Structure 1
Amino acid sequence: MKRGTKLLVMALTLVFTMSVFTACKTTEKSKKENNLKKISTGDLEKNINKSDWVVVDTRENDAFNGWKLDGVKRGGHIKGAKDFSAAWLSVDSKNKEKRLEGAIKVKGISPEKNIVLYDANGKDAIVVAKYLSSKGYKNLYTYDIKEWANDEGKPMESYENYQMIVTPSWVKDLIDGKNPEGYAGKGYKILEASWGEEKDSPDYLKKGHIKGAVHINTDYVEKGPLWNRLSDKELIKFAEDTGITVDTTVVVYGMDPMPAARVGAILKYIGVKDVRLLNGGTAKWEKAGYELEKTSNKREPVKSFGATTALNKGYIVDLSEAKKILADKNNSKLVDIRSWDEFIGKTSGYDYIKPKGRPAGSVWGHAGTDNSNLDDFRNLDNTMRNKDEILSMWKEGGITPNQRLSFYCGTGWRAAEVLLYADAMGLKNISLYDGGWNEWSGNTGNPANPIEVGTPKK
């Protein structure tokens, strides 16, 4: 070897060695700064049920719900784990810190506890650890969920119908012809839903939409003044005009999950067997790094839906059935999915609904601060909230999964989203009271129904 070449090799070797040393030193420094320690499966198993330990799933909520992501053998989460997704920390929201602090409190993540943060990509746990460390948390551990999931004897939990709340990667695989988990292979449609025609929709053409998606104006499935669903005949015609049969896999989504859920619930009502809501909507699709297209995709009709009347009529009920639910006080609940101020009659929530209050005997099921959000049922990134937290929230109001539950709101949007979440959770005897407060209040000529205002008496 020539002397010049030998010196060059020695110099490169020295640079490489120093780089490795610096990287290792940086990693160790980072771990030290974040007070991070790795925990073994054995030690995790030994401590998991202790009151001074809390196990936290830092992955996307889709994985927590049940999807097998990032090469994990089994979907779902470690039994008893709480969720605090690293994705929440990158959301741009004016009330972000308040909601994060609220989530920490609800999940029992406190500084005096030993906190195990697990992920599957080696990144999410570090992100959450840095955040907690900045808040003064010290007893932080990291863990790779793949180790736990590889052992069939280790308990994991998933939502019974988690596949209803679908991931961006699942939709991308569907578009790319990869036959993702649970897809029956009988054709699919992707619907971007919002109020207004395509030309007036800021979400469809201006911002863009998922490849192949068609725009659905919610007026195609409901009409005023009550804003109840159309007749079965009209809804089946809508499905046929949109190219949907009872066997079509339908993915509904939008910038706001509410109108998408409204369309999805109505499709389930008429009998579409496989309806899926994109968890987190358009924002999560973009966050995953997938492109949006701005071309106009027209609906392509089919000759027959496969049925001439709604096949799942109990999924959406009307006024007479809502009254029967209220009368059955021991086994049924009419659940109000409106803000507290709407429930107690401080506001009607709508400029076109004058009466204030609630159907007498209904119970508050939570919602958000006003009729534009569902923060009590969504995480910071608009994904579905933890099932256990929803059930716990309901339990405080005497709402339990074994009861017959019918959800209502003002005109059906908020309650439809909660209905789909309850369905994904595995609740059985559930429905949407379509008319909601708009119908019950007599806003359009039906004033005979009993109304309550104020805080309910215990």
Structure 2
Amino acid sequence: MKLKHILGLVLVSAVIFAGCGTKSPEKEAEKLPTIETKTISTTELSDNIGKADWMVVDTRSNDEYNGWSKEEYRGGHIKGATDFSYNWLNAQAENKEERLEKALKEKGFEKDKNIVLYDSNEENAKKVAAYLDKQGYKNLYTYNVADWAKDESLPMESYENYEMIVPAWWINDVINDKKPETYTNNNFKVIEVSWGEDSPSYNEGHIPGAVHMNTDDLESAPIWNRKSDADLEKMAMDYGIDVNTTIILYGENPMASYRAAAILKYMGVKDIRVLNGGYNAWKNAGFKAETKKNEKQPVESFKATVPVNKDYIIDIDKAKEYLANDSKDTLVDIRTWEEYIGETPGYKDIDIAGRPPKALWGKAGTNTQNLDDYRNVDDTMKNANDILNMWKEQGITPDKNLAFYCGTGWRAAEVLWYSEAMGLKKVSLYDGGWYEWIADPSNPIEKGEPK
């Protein structure tokens, strides 16, 4: 078990402790102020979409923006809309106000623009309007998105693979023997992913029926690469997983569940879902939890030879090929700026800092334990346009083969999963990452800001 996970466990435990006794953000949302706004008709909205002095903003949950809908009408968002969810106003997060202000800037909010805030619940749109009004935005309109979604002639869009990242209500439906959208199986397992055989985050409360997965069952020292194919196949059988099982993953720290998702997909599991926003999303939705320990139920066969999706994860030889052929391949560094330019190795158990030459910085977060550049303030996935614009600034374009790496694969796995949910095809995980790169002293290292 590497030190970064231990440090992460301490941080997560601190967040859990700090949140004890607080009310659900869903309930706190009722206390948010609202203001009266001008309403806009469907015709007016349609006529103004795309104009430089107008912007359209989805204030619903991130899940609905991505493509999910529990209503009778279409899921997804109005084509051309950005997002600013009312859920973000209730999030419990460090530097919350700073991150919200940063989101406004990234999404192109300007005080002289006409801003249309849409939701299926007008009160939620008005809560966002009240927040924006306080920030000095005055040309605010509200709109009921149900009117748009019911008209098939009006364009809406969803991420191509939005079903890879699921809302809490979807999991609740599955465990209660319902058949929510995109779920056609009759065999599922809910798995909480975190470090340790006896995980505090699991013991304090988990989704009913969930079993705990120790990340040490997926990876091993000293470089914390994934375990051998034979060991992974045995691990899956021990957890009762075969290629046809629908696997639903989550964790207090979402990063661990994306790490497991990437490895299970490499192995060949056909249907893998990850809870958007981690366990906090389950708690915030008000669904019940349990504390009893659920035992694993082994199966006799994985029903495939590992790996089925061999190219989903690449190793160091292939990573070097990417660097040598940077006209069509890109190695994308998902670490902090300080790690990327070699000011710090990022981890207590290594002392070599820097990056592989020609690797491009894909951003990450403020430390090894977060991915704030890829997550909204409530830890849900940032929207695809924000991610693509961020990459464009760094010279990363999705027409190339993109292999994501970090220190050992956790942060990079989350970005990989997001990119595939967005619909990118040519993506993979360089599993060994910085730990593997520095294990061989002959591998070149670059420091400083790239030229």
**Superposition map of 1:303-382 within 5 A:** 303-382=300-379
Find the counterpart in structure 2 of residue 171 from structure 1: 171
Give me the identity figure in percent. 57
Contact map agreement 1:35 1:140 (CA 8 A) in 2 = no
**What secondary structure is seen at the aligned counterpart in 2 of 1:335?**
strand
* CA distance in 2 between partners of 1:451 and 1:440 (Å): 9
* CA distance in 2 between partners of 1:123 and 1:266 (Å): 42
Unaligned runs of 5+ in 1: 1-29
* CA distance in 2 between partners of 1:401 and 1:355 (Å): 30
Find the counterpart in structure 2 of residue 202 from structure 1: 200
Q: Which has the larger radius of gyration?
A: 1
Contact map agreement 1:265 1:416 (CA 8 A) in 2 = yes
* CA distance in 1 between partners of 2:226 and 2:301 (Å): 20
Find the counterpart in structure 2 of residue 104 from structure 1: 104
Cα deviation code 1:216-260 (max 9, x no counterpart): 110001001110001111111111111111011101101111111
Q: Report the Cα offset of residue 361 of structure 1.
A: 1.1
Structure 2 counterpart of 1:233, which letter? A
- Correspondent of 2:262 among 239, 261, 265: 265
Cα deviation code 1:363-410 (max 9, x no counterpart): 100100110110000000000001011011111111111110000000
Find the counterpart in structure 1 of residue 123 from structure 2: 123
Find the counterpart in structure 1 of residue 430 from structure 2: 433
Find the counterpart in structure 2 of residue 413 from structure 1: 410
Higher mean C-alpha displacement, 132-141 vs 93-102: 132-141
* CA distance in 2 between partners of 1:339 and 1:216 (Å): 27
Cα deviation code 1:267-299 (max 9, x no counterpart): 000000111110001101011110110000011
**What secondary structure is seen at the aligned counterpart in 2 of 1:189?**
strand
Residue 213 (structure 1) aligned with residue 213 (structure 2) = no
Find the counterpart in structure 2 of residue 452 from structure 1: 446
Residue 144 (structure 1) aligned with residue 144 (structure 2) = yes
Aligned-pair RMSD on alpha carbons? 1.1
Contact map agreement 1:72 1:149 (CA 8 A) in 2 = no
Find the counterpart in structure 1 of residue 65 from structure 2: 64
Find the counterpart in structure 2 of residue 48 from structure 1: 49
Contact map agreement 1:336 1:409 (CA 8 A) in 2 = yes
**What secondary structure is seen at the aligned counterpart in 1 of 2:365?**
coil
Kindly tell me the number of residue pairs found equivalent between the two proteins.
Answer: 419
Higher mean C-alpha displacement, 176-185 vs 224-233: 176-185
TM-score of the two chains, using structure 1 as the length reference: 0.90
* CA distance in 2 between partners of 1:121 and 1:138 (Å): 21
**What secondary structure is seen at the aligned counterpart in 1 of 2:45?**
helix
Q: Report the Cα offset of residue 35 of structure 1.
A: 4.9
Cα deviation code 1:331-376 (max 9, x no counterpart): 0000000000000000000011111000111110010011011000
Q: More relative contact order in 1 or in 2 (CA 8 Å, sep 6+)?
A: 2
* CA distance in 2 between partners of 1:141 and 1:407 (Å): 40
Contact map agreement 1:258 1:417 (CA 8 A) in 2 = yes
User: Runs of 4 or more off by more than 6 Å in structure 1?
Assistant: none
**What secondary structure is seen at the aligned counterpart in 2 of 1:358?**
coil
**What secondary structure is seen at the aligned counterpart in 1 of 2:249?**
strand
* CA distance in 2 between partners of 1:94 and 1:260 (Å): 22
Contact map agreement 1:114 1:141 (CA 8 A) in 2 = yes
Find the counterpart in structure 2 of residue 80 from structure 1: 80
TM-score of the two chains, using structure 2 as the length reference: 0.91
**What secondary structure is seen at the aligned counterpart in 1 of 2:247?**
strand
Find the counterpart in structure 2 of residue 19 from structure 1: none
* CA distance in 2 between partners of 1:121 and 1:192 (Å): 32
* CA distance in 2 between partners of 1:349 and 1:362 (Å): 17
Q: Report the Cα offset of residue 67 of structure 1.
A: 0.6
Q: Report the Cα offset of residue 72 of structure 1.
A: 5.1
Contact map agreement 1:186 1:247 (CA 8 A) in 2 = no
Find the counterpart in structure 1 of residue 21 from structure 2: none
Q: Report the Cα offset of residue 94 of structure 1.
A: 3.0
Structure 2 counterpart of 1:64, which letter? Y
Q: Report the Cα offset of residue 123 of structure 1.
A: 2.5
* CA distance in 1 between partners of 2:124 and 2:302 (Å): 44
Find the counterpart in structure 2 of residue 10 from structure 1: none
Contact map agreement 2:335 2:365 (CA 8 A) in 1 = yes
